[in-house]
Structure 1
Amino acid sequence: MAAAAPADADHGGQLARRWCAACHIVSPDQTHGADNVPAFATIAKIPGFDADKITKFLMDPHPKMPDMQLGRDEAKDLAAYIVSLAP
């Protein structure tokens, strides 16, 4: 059985800019997003909300988010990127 590849935060950043930036502020150089949605840096600072929990959240989209149909590796990469934004 092959070992799982480690999450790729750089790829997660690319996914964030492609899929998430219309609503969320996904990077420090982005100046605006939609009202009433948290910036990724804010999500990264939520106590106890680690990469595993973010991955699980992304794999089960909720009504306010579009159904991006992320694969497990893409969700892990996006979660790694979000976590990388924490100070």
Structure 2
Amino acid sequence: MLLIAVMIGLTLSPAMGADADHGAELAKRWCASCHVVSSDQKQASADVPPFAALAQRSDFSAEKLAFFLLEPHPKMPNYPLSRNEAGDIAAYIGSLRK
């Protein structure tokens, strides 16, 4: 029974099977006005963390980030992300982890 619950949980996770390349495209389109989303970006808001810094956090989890992106947050614009898009952006940020 536990195995079934784990398998169901994995298939419901927005970060499972995510596409980091698509996440990079989405991040450049939607997130770059506030966050530094790639190393070639020159400008962003000073009071928000760059994606590379988010990826380096000791508590970083692509799955937790994907779920965070699906919830409305007062400090962030309310983009209507699908589960797949949130997972893709989280996978992209995870790919920046060194």
TM-score for the superposition, normalised by structure 1: 0.92
2:71 aligns with one of 60, 64, 67: 60
For structure 2, the 5+ residue unaligned runs are 1-10
* 2:60 equivalent to 1:49: yes
Whichever residue aligns with residue 47 of structure 1, its letter is S
TM-score for the superposition, normalised by structure 2: 0.82
* 2:91 equivalent to 1:80: yes
4+ runs of 1 displaced by more than 3 Å?
A: none
Match of 1:15 in 2: 26
- Percent same amino acid at aligned positions? 53
Secondary structure of the 1:65 match is coil
Cα RMSD for the two superposed structures: 1.4
Higher helix share: 2
Aligned length: 85
Q: Distance in 2 between matches of 1:42 and 1:35?
A: 13
What's the CA shift for 1:64? 1.1
Which has the higher Rg, Structure 1 or Structure 2?
2
For structure 1, the 5+ residue unaligned runs are none
